Amino acid sequence: MKKVFLFDALREAIDEEMKRDQSIFVLGEDVGHYGGSYKVTKDLHKKYGDLRLLDTPIAENSFMGMAIGSAMTGLRPIVEGMNMSFLLLAFNQISNNAGMLRYTSGGNFDIPLVIRGPGGVGRQLGAEHSQRLESYFQSIPGLKMVACSTPYNAKGLLKSAIRDNNPVIFFEHVLLYNLQDYVPNNDYTIPLDKVELIREGSDITIVTYSRMRYHVMEAVDQLVKDGFNPEVLDLISLKPIDIESIALSLKKTNKLLIVEECMKTGGIGAEIIAQVNDQYFDLLDAPIIRLSSQDIPTPYNGFLEKVTIVDSHQIINSVKSLVT
């Protein structure tokens, strides 16, 4: 085992996969000579050269289209969005092409494409740089969505995403890149469609993902001191949602709290509620509580930004209202 930053874990995953498979290449703004805005591709250009670390113009729709075309012809592109919000400029290519071409071609084309980069609410990055795109992309057929939260799962999930023959949107939180943890020295992968059980418990199931994992665990530390025993699941797979594992937890706890940084309207939490109500309503002893960001553009002002997203006090109060 070795202790690494999350951005280094991602870089190691890309490096190891590029070494293993000559068809893999990275493209995006400043991914080559500069090494990526958050240093995820640092020094890889020296190792693999211009054609495998391809610096593109600031034209997201163009280089996304190029990536999809190259995936159709046998390459395995990794697209880095300098900020995931910028990829809204390539929404047409991602939805109408990446998501649908395998189906509309009658299965003649695979689209082994990874779209990755930083997103989420940072520290005063402004509304346009603080978007959470999971709610935008979750309804597009043919896409998978993954959100990493630790160096360990970041590396294992990215390797799985690169090896997958379907388009995968890989969300990295801008405030987690400098997180440090241990990863194995040996090669490993993590399934793209399973939750991670962070903590076993019996009182309530808390489902979360990405940066909110740490807000939840901060709240759990206090809840345990207060005599509560919550079970915590890191969703990891945002599409498809591992609803079976959530139901398995609900069979023990019969109560559900969802904590997300996504917008409340049309978000991941809304989809989980819909699926639980459709399939596992009888497991619930209380209404589901959903803690989400407010449905407003993220303010630049630091105080206003902070109050738009969920904090540990809200989590603690919600657990106590459900359990007591």
DSSP track, 216-257: HHHHHHHHHHTT--EEEEE--EEES--HHHHHHHHHHH--EE
Residue the block writes with tokens 């999809």 = 68
| Token pair listed for 17 | 């996969």
Show the CA angle centred on residue 199, arms to residues 197 and 204, nearest 5°: 100
C-alpha–C-alpha distance, residues 190 and 207, integer Å: 19
Give, in order, the Cα–Cα distances in Å from 324 to each of 143, 199, 204, 225. 40, 20, 11, 15
Is the separation of the CB atoms in 7 and 178 below 8 Å?
yes
Active site residues: 60, 129
CB count in 10 Å sphere of residue 34: 13
User: Which residue from 289, 294, 263, 264 is spatially nearest to 276, judged by alpha carbons?
Assistant: 289
